[in-house]
Amino acid sequence: MKQRVVKLTDFGGSENMVIFEADIPEPKVDQIIVKNNAIGLNYLDTYFRTGLYPWPNEDDLKIPGSEGVGNVYAVGSNVKDFREGDRVSYVTPVGAYAEYAVVNALHAVKINVDVKDHDVVASTLKGLTTHYLLHLTIKLNNNMTALVHAAAGGVGQLMGQWGSEIGATMIGTAGGPDKVDAAKKAGYHHVIDYKSEDFVKEVMKITNNKKCDVVYDSVAKDVFPGSMDCLKPRGLWVLFGQASGPITDFNLASLSAKGSLFVTRPTLFTYIANREEYNDASHQLYSRIADGRLNIAIHKTMPLEEVVAAHNELEGRQTKGAIVFTL
């Protein structure tokens, strides 16, 4: 049987993604095949598309995409946790932009709470990321002040709401007035328009020169010296993305010069390396959506055929919240 997928013809621009007819694959022993109902767009997808991140398998057919929701269609011989028909969400480095996605069973979970498909794919990869950033990379608490860049983005809007629930003072940066409004609605106590204001000066004013305990930096190249300047001595710089480009020239000695700073470059997949961690993080996320503690911001829903336009919007800084693909 055949299915529609998005095929990456070569690493590079968004125009290298085309709709393609492919066979529905068989699962390997530890995999499941999920018939997608909806698919989420993540900035991560652009890094694999351009070749910034190495493609994680040797398959000739390169299908991008990192999260989806749907029903289990086929189960590998070693998989005990799922049966055909189960409603599941999943995250994966690549492979989600398809009617039928091949998924490592470790990174799927049954959804037992009342959360709509579109909210699931607008929040799973971004929300699991938010969970580890706030609870595991550092245990954020109500005595701490955190700075989050791209606060109106998909991850950014979850960070604001969840960080405020913890009781931390949440400061966000966002590009332009509309995004500043969106970030304020997403729980940030202070939002700086970093297109028109010097965010380091503003952080100094907001904190009475005390600065922040932690900076969550997913923008990298364009902001990183400033990110470090916003940290208290012995503060933690969490560099978890590079929307403006990677940092290629970094002098480790600047960590001592700027106050014995710590730095980490985490990735979600290290924080969901076993079933217990994955289940716990998913439960923390979906229960918050179901009981209304987290509001999921969907920027737009688009048919998967519009994948090129969707990538262009995301990389063009035009989105507030998540883009969801329908099939």
What is the C-alpha separation between 130 and 43, in angstroms, rounded?
14
Q: Which residue in the shown chain puts its C-beta closest to ligand NDP?
A: 153
- Least CB distance from residue 299 to ligand NDP, whole Å? 8
β-bridge mates for residue 18, sequence order = 7
Q: Which is nearer to ligand NDP, 68 or 154 (CB)?
A: 154
Phi-psi region of 234 (alpha: psi -120 to 50; beta: other; left: phi over 0): left
- Least CB distance from residue 176 to ligand NDP, whole Å? 7
- Least CB distance from residue 306 to ligand NDP, whole Å? 17
- Least CB distance from residue 103 to ligand NDP, whole Å? 17
Cβ density class 27-47: b for 16+ within 10 Å, e for less: beeebbbbbbbbbbbbbbbbb
Q: How far apart are the first and last CA of the chain?
A: 17
Contacts with ligand NDP by CB under 6 A lie at: 42-44, 125-126, 129, 150, 152-156, 174-175, 179, 218-219, 222, 240-241, 243-244, 266-268, 314-315, 317, 319
Q: Which is nearer to ligand NDP, 27 or 64 (CB)?
A: 64
- Least CB distance from residue 123 to ligand NDP, whole Å? 10
- Residue 126 sits at φ, ψ, to 5 deg, of -70, -35
Q: What is the DSSP string of 253-315?
A: HHHHHTTS-EEE---HHHHT-SHHHHHHHHHHHHHHHHTTSS---EEEEEEGGGHHHHHHHHH
Q: Which is nearer to ligand NDP, 45 or 99 (CB)?
A: 45
Q: Which is nearer to ligand NDP, 155 or 212 (CB)?
A: 155
Q: Which is nearer to ligand NDP, 33 or 263 (CB)?
A: 263
- Least CB distance from residue 44 to ligand NDP, whole Å? 5
Q: Which is nearer to ligand NDP, 268 or 289 (CB)?
A: 268
- Give the residue among 44, 241, 237, 216 at the shortest CA–CA distance from 124: 44
Provide, for the chain, the percentages of residues in helix, strand and coil under a 3-state DSSP scheme, each rounded to the nearest 5.
35, 30, 40
Q: Which is nearer to ligand NDP, 86 or 181 (CB)?
A: 181
Q: For 230, how many CA atoms within 13 A lie in the half-sphere containing its CB?
A: 31
- Least CB distance from residue 66 to ligand NDP, whole Å? 8
What is the C-alpha separation between 220 and 20, in angstroms, rounded?
34
